[in-house]
């Protein structure tokens, strides 16, 4: 157990470290002869887990804030669940992913509750897009607007599911992929939900889930829902938070990005097309005599398409000060706002006919205001606290307003209402045991921070290999050089490889080369590539194969747990520095440097280290795992900042020798054969 530098601790930190009144009780629950040992097969006590649980119990007891980094294998989930279930009062547990949310609610919490014999009620609350909507399901069944035969089959399955399920949670319907397009047609959004006016309000799965959450002692949500409901003052968490005694963020390293997303503002041409489709259907069905609905929505859609065509590129991100003065962007934003205004005028006269037409009117009003506001602020000087930027995709254009810092906003959220305990935990919060970077992003500089290191023997279990003679990462042939360098290790490892790329372009190039090389060499390693299927499906097939090679980008750098023999080699193509032309990054660096800071050392480097810690964490997941982490970017060795990076990684043994890396796998195989 290691405390952070004293600069991150409050003046009364020594008092905070005094044993709490629950320490003995915590230790008893984790004792080798305690309730966990009696109810969980294979349980064994982990001293660092006990210490972490005691620290969290003390923070809950005093209503304090604790930032807790727990190395892989510490057992942080049980460490926070014990005090949360026993002494947390009304508890909100927020996770970074829906997968962890489901695991907590369906597996971990029932297990701990049973072991502790804790008389607490628990509830699972997700965003409304996760629940079947009776109204939209009925409308989709009636209208039959499906684009494929597969969707038609999925729709029948969803209709049967809606009649049998108690929760309506789409995660329960495994036969329909979670990314199937049909889900968008049978779930609701905040904009198209009629609320209490809906004929199905009493049977609404979203309302039932929220009612259960209101009554439960412990509620499991995810970060997106937590911040969305706070930022939008929607129901759900916004109603739960005032009564919460304890808030626990698991996977807390994701909080700055998630909070930035939801404390910012976004309006898109996709929102416009969603509105026009809904308006056309409702207008023709219930107000055909009121207007030429086809002509009306066509004018709005043409204006939205013209706005997208302000840029010819398939994809781009630009701050508004990077947009050419000759670009028609701003004029077309104003034009679109005006066309939506015309639609509002017609919908105003028809809104009383049906609740859905009223919703369309409200959405149109909101969109018109959003486009006009963005236009006004973009043409002005801004407020100095946000950056305005545009992002173009194949068929849509997004207009963003993003806060430069969410520290003040988040601090205000934490301080509103009665005092409560706030627990932030993850395996990657500190850089060489210093929490300053994470703390500064959320305004947590004066709170207690602590590290509980991993119990794994990284020096024996893992090897960090940085190959010699690699070209610079910006060289045109770099991805090909990566493939040439990793082929011998893929062979030595017998497949069992993750290749983690920093760009989708690298995923495409590296996977294409690997496919060709495997065929030429007669290697039968199954190759799995991001984008070919959902992440869940790819991971399941990778685990089942036992000798697969998976190539992926950002979504595979974290939240992925492959234990045992199926994964023995993790390859990182480049150090994960954010693109320097990212508008938000550039604006934040500019502000930082105006205040006397160093944009690279104080922002870009810490961010890259946190991401790399996540990626490297895929390799060793339990005490029997052994493997090689291969980083193909020689800046880790050649640049002065490289030492700061590798010293923040798990303390693997290190080598530059390919022979040493291959020998590691031969030794591993010999051990396994014994």
Render pLDDT for 567-600 as a digit per residue (tens, 0 to 9): 999 999 999 998 878 899 999 999 889 999 999 9
Closest by CA to 185, choosing from 170, 199, 172, is 170
pLDDT at 22: 87
Confidence of residue 673 (pLDDT cuts 50, 70, 90): low
Alpha carbon distances (Å) from 247 to 89, 134, 408, 639: 10, 32, 19, 41
Confidence of residue 672 (pLDDT cuts 50, 70, 90): low
Confidence of residue 1 (pLDDT cuts 50, 70, 90): very low
State the average pLDDT for the chain.
Answer: 90
In tens, the pLDDT along 617-664 reads: 999 988 889 999 999 999 999 999 999 999 999 999 999 999 999 999
Q: How far apart are CA 177 and CA 171, in angstroms?
A: 9
Q: 269: part of which helix (H) or strand (E)?
A: helix 269-286
In tens, the pLDDT along 525-573 reads: 999 999 888 788 899 999 999 999 999 998 899 888 888 889 999 999 9
In tens, the pLDDT along 145-180 reads: 677 888 889 999 999 999 999 999 998 998 898 878
* 299, 305, 308, 312 alpha-carbon torsion, rounded to 10°: -130
Residue with tokens 């072991």: 115
Say if CB 243 and CB 90 are below 8 A apart.
yes
Confidence of residue 55 (pLDDT cuts 50, 70, 90): very high
Mean pLDDT of 398-421: 90
pLDDT at 17: 41
**Residue 433 CB partners (closer than 8 Å, separation 6+):** 2, 4, 5, 451
pLDDT at 237: 67
185 dihedral zone (left: phi>0; alpha: psi -120 to 50; beta): alpha
In tens, the pLDDT along 305-352 reads: 999 999 999 999 999 989 999 999 999 999 999 999 999 999 999 999
Q: How far apart are CA 391 and CA 268, in angstroms?
A: 9
pLDDT reading at 6 higher than 50: no
- Between 212 and 533, where is the model more confident? 212
Q: 95: part of which helix (H) or strand (E)?
A: strand 91-95
pLDDT at 110: 95
pLDDT at 232: 64
The percentage of residues in the chain with a pLDDT greater than 90, rounded to a whole number, is 74
Please measure the distance between the N-terminal and C-terminal CA atoms of the chain and give it in whole angstroms: 35
Mean pLDDT of 57-71: 96
Say if CB 185 and CB 142 are below 8 A apart.
no
pLDDT reading at 243 higher than 90: no
In tens, the pLDDT along 183-195 reads: 989 999 888 888 8
Confidence of residue 12 (pLDDT cuts 50, 70, 90): very low
pLDDT at 554: 85
Q: How far apart are CA 101 and CA 508, in angstroms?
A: 31
pLDDT at 458: 94
Residue with tokens 């409050």: 10
Q: How far apart are CA 497 and CA 123, in angstroms?
A: 37
Say if CB 428 and CB 607 are below 8 A apart.
no
The residue ranges of every structural domain in the chain are 132-187, 263-403, 458-673
Closest by CA to 135, choosing from 86, 191, 203, is 203
Q: How far apart are CA 217 and CA 135, in angstroms?
A: 31
Domain covering 263-403 in this structure, CATH number: 1.20.120
pLDDT at 139: 87
Closest by CA to 186, choosing from 141, 152, 149, is 141
pLDDT at 669: 60
Q: How far apart are CA 70 and CA 79, in angstroms?
A: 10
Closest by CA to 334, choosing from 286, 295, 365, 375, is 375
pLDDT reading at 13 higher than 80: no
pLDDT at 4: 32
pLDDT reading at 477 higher than 90: yes
Mean pLDDT of 43-65: 95
- Between 673 and 254, where is the model more confident? 254
Confidence of residue 355 (pLDDT cuts 50, 70, 90): confident
Reported pTM? 0.89
At the fourth CATH level, which superfamily is domain 458-673?
P-loop containing nucleotide triphosphate hydrolases (3.40.50.300)
Q: How far apart are CA 248 and CA 92, in angstroms?
A: 6
Closest by CA to 75, choosing from 642, 634, 622, 671, is 622
Per DSSP bridges, beta strands 397-403 and 527-529 are unpaired
Say if CB 452 and CB 72 are below 8 A apart.
no
Q: How far apart are CA 656 and CA 548, in angstroms?
A: 25
DSSP character at residue 621: -
Q: Which of 11-25, 78-92, 221-235 has the lowest mean pLDDT?
A: 11-25
pLDDT reading at 19 higher than 70: no
Q: Compute the chain's Rg from CA coordinates.
A: 27
Closest by CA to 463, choosing from 656, 669, 670, 673, is 656
Cβ neighbour number for residue 258 with a 10 Å cutoff:
21
pLDDT reading at 504 higher than 70: yes
Domain 263-403 and domain 458-673, same fold? Reply is no
pLDDT reading at 217 higher than 90: yes
pLDDT reading at 260 higher than 80: yes
Q: How far apart are CA 605 and CA 643, in angstroms?
A: 12
Q: How far apart are CA 625 and CA 58, in angstroms?
A: 34
Alpha carbon distances (Å) from 164 to 9, 137, 161, 167: 52, 14, 5, 9
In tens, the pLDDT along 268-309 reads: 999 999 999 989 988 998 899 889 999 999 999 999 999 999
Closest by CA to 367, choosing from 307, 286, 293, is 307
């Amino acid at each position: 157990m290691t405390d952070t530098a004293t600069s991150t601790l409050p003046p009364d930190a020594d008092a905070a470290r005094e044993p709490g009144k629950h320490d003995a009780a915590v230790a008893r629950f984790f004792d080798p002869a305690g309730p966990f040992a009696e109810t969980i097969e294979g349980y064994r006590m982990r001293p660092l887990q006990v210490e972490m649980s005691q620290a969290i119990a003390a923070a809950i007891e005093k209503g304090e804030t604790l930032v807790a980094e727990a190395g892989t294998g510490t057992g942080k989930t049980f460490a926070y669940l014990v005090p949360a279930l026993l002494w947390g009062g009304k508890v909100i547990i927020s996770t970074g992913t829906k997968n962890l949310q489901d695991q907590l609610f369906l597996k971990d919490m029932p297990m701990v509750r049973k072991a502790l014999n804790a008389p607490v009620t628990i509830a699972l609350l997700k965003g409304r897009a996760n629940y079947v909507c009776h109204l939209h399901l009925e409308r989709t069944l009636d209208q039959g607007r499906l684009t494929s035969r597969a969707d038609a089959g999925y729709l029948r399955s969803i209709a049967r599911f809606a009649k049998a399920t108690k929760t309506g949670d789409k995660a329960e319907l495994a036969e329909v992929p979670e990314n199937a397009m049909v889900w968008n047609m049978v779930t609701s959004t905040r904009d198209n939900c009629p609320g209490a006016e809906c004929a199905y309000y009493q049977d609404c799965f979203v309302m039932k889930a929220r009612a259960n959450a209101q009554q439960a002692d412990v509620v499991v949500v995810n970060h997106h829902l937590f911040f969305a409901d706070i930022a939008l003052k929607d129901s759900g968490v916004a109603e739960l938070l005032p009564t919460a005694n304890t808030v626990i963020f698991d996977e807390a390293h994701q909080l700055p990005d998630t909070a930035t997303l939801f404390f910012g503002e976004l309006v898109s041409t996709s929102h416009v097309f969603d509105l026009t489709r809904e308006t056309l259907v409702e207008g023709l069905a219930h107000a055909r005599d009121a207007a030429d609905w086809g002509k009306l929505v066509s004018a709005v859609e043409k204006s939205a398409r013209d706005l997208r065509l302000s840029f010819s590129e398939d994809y781009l991100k630009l701050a508004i000060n990077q947009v050419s003065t000759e670009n028609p962007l701003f004029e077309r934003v104003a034009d679109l706002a005006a066309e939506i205004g015309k639609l509002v005028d017609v919908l105003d006269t028809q809104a009383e006919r049906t609740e859905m037409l009223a919703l369309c009117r409200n959405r149109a009003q909101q969109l018109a205001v959003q486009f006009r506001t963005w236009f006004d602020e973009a043409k002005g000087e801004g407020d100095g606290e946000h950056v305005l930027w545009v992002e173009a995709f194949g068929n849509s254009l997004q207009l963003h307003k993003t806060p430069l810092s969410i520290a003040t906003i988040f601090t205000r959220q934490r301080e509103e209402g009665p005092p409560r305990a706030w627990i932030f935990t993850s395996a990657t919060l500190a850089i060489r045991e210093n929490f300053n970077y994470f703390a500064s992003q959320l305004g947590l500089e004066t709170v207690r921070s602590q590290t509980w290191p991993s119990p794994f023997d990284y020096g024996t279990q893992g090897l960090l290999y940085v190959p010699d003679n690699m070209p610079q990462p910006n060289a045109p042939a770099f991805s090909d050089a990566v493939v040439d360098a990793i082929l011998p290790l893929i062979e030595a490892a017998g497949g069992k490889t993750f290749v983690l790329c920093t760009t989708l372009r690298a995923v495409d190039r590296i996977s294409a080369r690997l496919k060709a090389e495997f065929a030429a060499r007669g290697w039968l390693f199954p190759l799995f590539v991001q984008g070919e299927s959902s992440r869940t499906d790819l991971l399941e097939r990778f685990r089942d194969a036992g000798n697969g090679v998976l190539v992926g980008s950002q979504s595979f750098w974290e939240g992925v747990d492959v234990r045992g023999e199926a994964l023995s080699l993790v390859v990182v193509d480049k150090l994960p520095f954010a693109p320097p032309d990212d508008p938000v990054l550039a604006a934040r660096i500019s502000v930082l440097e105006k205040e006397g800071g160093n944009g690279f050392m104080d922002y870009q480097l810490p961010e890259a280290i946190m991401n790399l810690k996540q990626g490297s964490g895929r390799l060793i997941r339990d005490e029997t795992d052994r493997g090689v982490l291969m980083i193909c970017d020689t800046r880790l060795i050649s640049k002065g900042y490289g030492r700061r990076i590798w010293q923040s990684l798990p303390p693997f043994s290190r080598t530059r020798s390919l022979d040493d890396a291959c020998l590691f796998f031969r030794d591993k195989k010999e051990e396994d054969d014994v």
